């Protein structure tokens, strides 16, 4: 009788442990905090980032989303909003320090890309595409927070030309 009771208790403990593991990894979320900066890239001959006549570079992002790996790269599969509404950033204000744009709770998994359609800037332009997160992305784990930094900069000569086209140079990396 004691062996039967011990076997039942052991079976209940094993089932409970397995159920607890799946619940914890499936429903307990981590957090990602997205910030943005325009790091100094001194232009040759000028000793500064942008021409002094440039006072502001306003970028308006329609939304900012992160992609969970393993879902393919279709239009909506595996994409989750970090910043769900329109956000405008003055890139001149983030030359020396990063600005937090938003945060999101993420399920356990690997996240590998950011997408951020840009609706307006000094010159209006559309989607600049997806930016891969350096190092192949990151793993979201229950109860953890990952700081993800999007870095965008522009060529000074393109801004001064005012030809209606800007080519952003973008990277996304984990900040430790």
Q: What whole-number percentage of the chain has pLDDT above 90?
A: 12
Question: Each residue of 124-174: pLDDT tens digit?
Answer: 333 456 677 888 888 888 888 888 888 888 888 877 787 666 677 888 888
**Number of residues written out for the chain:** 176
Rounded Cα gap, residues 72 and 77, in angstroms: 7
Question: Between the CA of residue 82 and those of 33, 45, 114, what are the distances in Å?
Answer: 8, 39, 9
Question: Does residue 1 surpass a pLDDT of 70?
Answer: no
Rounded Cα gap, residues 157 and 35, in angstroms: 26
Question: Each residue of 100-116: pLDDT tens digit?
Answer: 999 999 888 889 999 98
Instruction: Kindly state the tokens that stand for 122.
Output: 């000094």
Q: How confident is the model at residue 65 (pLDDT cuts 50, 70, 90)?
A: very high
pTM above 0.85, yes or no: no
Kindly report which listed range (33-37, 73-77, 113-117, 136-140) carries the lowest average pLDDT score. 73-77
Q: What is the pLDDT of residue 53?
A: 64
* Section 50-71 average pLDDT: 82
Q: What is the DSSP letter of 77?
A: T
Rounded Cα gap, residues 58 and 79, in angstroms: 25
Rounded Cα gap, residues 104 and 137, in angstroms: 16
């Amino acid at each position: 009788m004691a062996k039967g009771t011990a076997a039942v208790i052991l079976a209940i403990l094993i089932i409970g442990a397995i159920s607890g593991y799946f619940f914890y990894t499936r429903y307990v979320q981590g957090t990602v905090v997205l910030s943005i900066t325009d790091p100094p890239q001194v232009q040759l001959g000028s000793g500064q980032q942008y021409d002094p006549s440039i006072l502001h570079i306003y970028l308006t992002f329609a939304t900012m989303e992160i992609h969970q790996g393993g879902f393919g790269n279709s239009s909506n599969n595996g994409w989750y909003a970090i910043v769900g509404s329109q956000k405008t950033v003055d890139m001149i204000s983030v030359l020396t320090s990063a600005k937090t744009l938003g945060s999101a709770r993420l399920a356990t998994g690997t996240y590998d890309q950011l997408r951020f359609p840009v609706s307006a800037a000094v010159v209006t332009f559309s989607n600049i595409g997806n930016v891969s997160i350096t190092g192949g992305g990151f793993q979201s784990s229950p109860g953890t927070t990952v700081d993800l930094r999007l870095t965008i900069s522009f060529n000074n000569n393109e801004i001064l030309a005012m030809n209606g086209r800007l080519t952003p140079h973008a990277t996304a990396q984990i900040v430790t």
